[in-house]
Amino acid sequence: MSLNGINFEWKPKRLDFDTKIKPFESEDTDLNNFLKNDAKNYLKQRLAVTYLIENDVETIAYFCLSNDIVLRLFSDKEGWKKIKKSIPNAKLRSIYPAIKIGRLAVATDYAGNGFGKLILQIVREMYSSETQPSGCRFVTVDAYQNAVHFYQKHKFEFLTSDDENEKTRLMYYDLQAIQ
């Protein structure tokens, strides 16, 4: 597969205990260290599954997925109004199933070539209503402030404005939007 002339393995590789992790350098040291030192521990503790996008020699990007919930308690009035609008009355709840993108990083050398966008597409496809292994309505992310615009561009919304000045902002995407 090729994106902007960059070749890579099309199918994201699910990290396993014996996976040899290829070098990875993004602009975020925490995200680099997580992949190197902690991703397998998260797998072992069943806290997150990591997926790798690679070429022959290096890791181009990675992301982690964990089960999550969208909870009325975590939203403000405006945020919940938007959620309610998209759900039929008979199915209104104060809690909905979700999948969380725990971490998402593109290597500095490959940034701006569409890999972030591709990962969001991959997650949407993994949880499309034809293939999802359990009910899942939303994709959530605790977005770094510098990535908020990236997620907004891809139709993620805020659940609350209470976290406006926090290091990360809770955002969600409604998977029903792709029906």
Ligand X SMILES: CC(C)(COP(=O)(O)OP(=O)(O)OC[C@H]1O[C@@H](n2cnc3c(N)ncnc32)[C@H](O)[C@@H]1OP(=O)(O)O)[C@@H](O)C(=O)NCCC(=O)NCCS
Q: Residues interacting with ligand X, by CB under 6 A?
A: 26-28, 31, 104-106, 111-117, 141, 143-144, 146-147, 149-150, 153
In terms of CB distance, is 69 or 122 closer to ligand X?
A: 122
In the complex, residue closest to ligand X by CB: 116
Sheet containing 49-54: which strands, arranged edge to edge? 13-14, 49-54, 59-71, 95-106, 138-144, 168-174, 157-158
In terms of CB distance, is 121 or 129 closer to ligand X?
A: 121
* Beta carbon of residue 121, minimum distance to ligand X (angstroms, whole number): 10
Neighbours of 14 (CB within 10 A): 12
In terms of CB distance, is 36 or 149 closer to ligand X?
A: 149
* Beta carbon of residue 30, minimum distance to ligand X (angstroms, whole number): 9
* Beta carbon of residue 4, minimum distance to ligand X (angstroms, whole number): 8
* Beta carbon of residue 160, minimum distance to ligand X (angstroms, whole number): 17
In terms of CB distance, is 4 or 131 closer to ligand X?
A: 4
In terms of CB distance, is 5 or 88 closer to ligand X?
A: 5
* Beta carbon of residue 98, minimum distance to ligand X (angstroms, whole number): 15
Indicate the pairing of strand 2-3 with strand 13-14. unpaired
Which residues touch 31 (CB under 8 Å, ≥6 apart)? 103, 105
> Alpha carbon of 121 to those of 2, 42, 114, 125, 173: distances in Å?
15, 24, 11, 6, 12
Residue pair 108/26 in contact by the 8 Å Cβ criterion: yes
Specify the amino acid at residue 154: H
Residue pair 36/50 in contact by the 8 Å Cβ criterion: no
Token reading at 93:
């709840």
